[in-house]
Each structure stands twice: as C-alpha cells, then as structure tokens.
Amino acid sequence: MRSNALRSIMVGAILTAMSLIIPLAFGGVLGVFIPPFSATIASHVPVMVAMLLGPWVAVVVGLGSALGFLLRLGPVIAARAAVHAVFGLVGGMLLQKGMSFAATLAFVAPIHAVLEALVVIPFGFSVYQFLVVVGVGTLLHHCIDAAIAAGLVAALARSGLGRLLAGGRHARVSSKHSGGTSGARPTS
C-alpha cells in the first residue's frame, strides 16, 4: 500500500512536470492556434496517463496543465486547460470502476469538448467560435492525444514499465489489448 502511494506521488509529479513543460516549451509553437482555440500536440497526454494512477492524481496533473497554459498563453487557454482536471477526474473514476483505458478515453472526449466550449463563453466569443472552433477542435485534438496516450501506455505495458502506472488502488496495466487500442485496464 505504501509503495503504491509513493509510486503514485512520484509518477504523478513527473506527469505534472510534463503538463507544465509541454505548454511552456511548445504552447503556441507545436500546434494550431485559431482564437479562442489552440491545440498543442500531446498537451492532454499527461492527464490521460495520470487517470491510470487515480482520479485525484489526474486532477493535480490537469491543474498543472492549466498553470502552464496560464503562464504561456493567458487566461482563455488556461481556463480551457483547467477542464483537463475535470475530465481527468471522471476518467480516473471510470478506470477505478473497471472501464478499459481505450473506452475511458472515448467516454471523456465529448465531456472534454463540451466543457472547453462552455468555458470560453464568458470571454465573449461567438456561438460559432465556442461551439465549432473550440468544441469540434477540442474533440479532434482529444482524439489525437488519446491515440498518443494509448500508444504510450501500450508501449510501457509491453516493456514491463507498465507497473509504474499501477499506483492507484485498482489500476494496473497489462500487455493484453482491450477494445482494440490500449492494454491498460484497471482491476477490481
């Protein structure tokens, strides 16, 4: 139990550092920027992987992402990035309940897209901008990053390093494929 908690803290800290570094180093550079939408490739990957460690680890990693985007790209993008904590929480809870990693990533995609679209409304953007540009753009970006996360988790499982992600009470990563993409699946 203690080693699992320590592993979750350590891997969670590394993922939080990654969630800060990605926007600080690549925000506005490695991706697409159509205000109020931006897509920094792989920016969702740390929180997606953190979901395997548990919902609260994913929340912390998501908040790290929001801080990174606030420092690099300002409050609108940071508000959108804060949504990472919400979809991370939901995804972490679904994994603890036994949903596969691939199914979890698919399930949280529309939640992620809708929340990011809604969060930009107070900043005065048009219906087209928040619904189509941000909503659809986020959904596409989520799918790209989900494929990267699933590939990373599957590679870690095959290499034997998947045990690093087994920090949550119920989470483990196996090398068996589930749902056609990633081999990450929680156990009960």
Owning domain of residue 39: 2-165
Assigned domain for 180 exists: no
Assigned domain for 144 exists: yes
For range 24-28, the mean pLDDT: 82
pLDDT beyond 50 at 185: no
Q: What is the CATH number of the domain that holds 146?
A: 1.10.1760.20
CA atoms within 13 A on the CB side of 140: 12
Assigned domain for 134 exists: yes
Mean pLDDT (the chain) is 87
88: β partners = none
32: β partners = 39
38: β partners = 33
Assigned domain for 184 exists: no
Q: Percentage of the chain surpassing pLDDT 90?
A: 70
Nearest C-alpha neighbor of 180 from the set 154, 157, 155? 154
What is the tally of structural domains in the chain?
A: 1
pLDDT (tens digit per residue) in 127-170: 999 999 999 999 999 999 999 999 999 999 898 887 777 644 44
Q: Which pLDDT does position 62 carry in this prediction?
A: 98
Assigned domain for 61 exists: yes
Assigned domain for 99 exists: yes
Q: Which pLDDT does position 36 carry in this prediction?
A: 77
pLDDT beyond 50 at 171: no
Assigned domain for 173 exists: no
Res. 178 pLDDT band, cuts 50 70 90: very low
Q: Which long-range contacts (CB under 8 A, 24 or more apart) does 71-74 make?
A: 71/23, 71/24, 72/23, 72/24, 72/27, 72/28, 73/23, 73/27, 73/28, 73/38
Q: Which pLDDT does position 5 carry in this prediction?
A: 85
Q: Which pLDDT does position 162 carry in this prediction?
A: 78
